[in-house]
Amino acid sequence: SDLQKQEERGELLQPLIFVLLVLCSVLLYFKVSLMDPGFVKPEEEEGEDKGQGVVIPQIPGDVKLRRCGYCLVKQPMRAKHCQLCQHCVRRYDHHCPWLENCVGERNHPLFIVYLSVQLVVLLWGGHVAWSGLYFEQSREWLQHNIFLLVSFLLIFIFTIVVLLLLVSHLYLISCNTTTWEFMSHHRISYLRHSELENPFDQGIILNLWRFFC
């Protein structure tokens, strides 16, 4: 049969890989959106106090940990209260409206993996949509290809958004800073009073190693 001939020629491998990538992207989306991003719990305060000196020795001694005015837990260094999640989040990066969850210490690496897989899916889908287009200046051509054309334009827009988001996050990770710290540097006490512009930066290689490993 034609299906067996396509299988023998390896023509079914690419569609299968594409479907698996799409499935992986969907699973990663639900994993990142549903998992705990690193909520600070009151019973963990003692453990946080013991580990602060190890995390960042360059911070001046006059910068003290403060209690959150919303949930009343003692905030670890680099934590921030998210009013949408109603929790303080460790190594808070941002609240993602697409995920309806915060991106923080626990799910930030998976968030990067999700963006990477999503980018591959979009590029592949864009290639498929473009390869199906053949251009003619006629009304009938537009009627027969409007779906592919709109699909390609949407995929192109989403690809640009995901690519910019991934590149910006990889840059911030390589500097060992977060979106919140980058955007609000002047308002954060442990950064404003530090002698270094970014006291967390330990070099690109070590920053990437500690984030992903």
Per-residue pLDDT of 67-84, as tens digits, reads: 888 888 888 889 999 999
| Per-residue DSSP letter, 184 | S
Cα(186)–Cα(64) distance, rounded to whole angstroms?
A: 17
Active-site residue (options: 96, 102, 175, 213)? 96
pLDDT score recorded for residue 43:
65
pLDDT score recorded for residue 56:
47
pLDDT score recorded for residue 111:
97
Surface-to-core class of residue 59, CB atoms within 10 Å of its CB (0-12 exposed, 13-18 middle, 19+ buried): buried
Q: How far apart are the first and last CA of the chain?
A: 48
Q: Residues in the chain with pLDDT < 70?
A: 1-11, 43-65, 132-139, 141-142
100: left (phi over 0), alpha (psi -120 to 50) or beta: left
C-beta of residue 63 within 8 angstroms of C-beta of residue 189 = yes
* 96 in catalytic set: yes
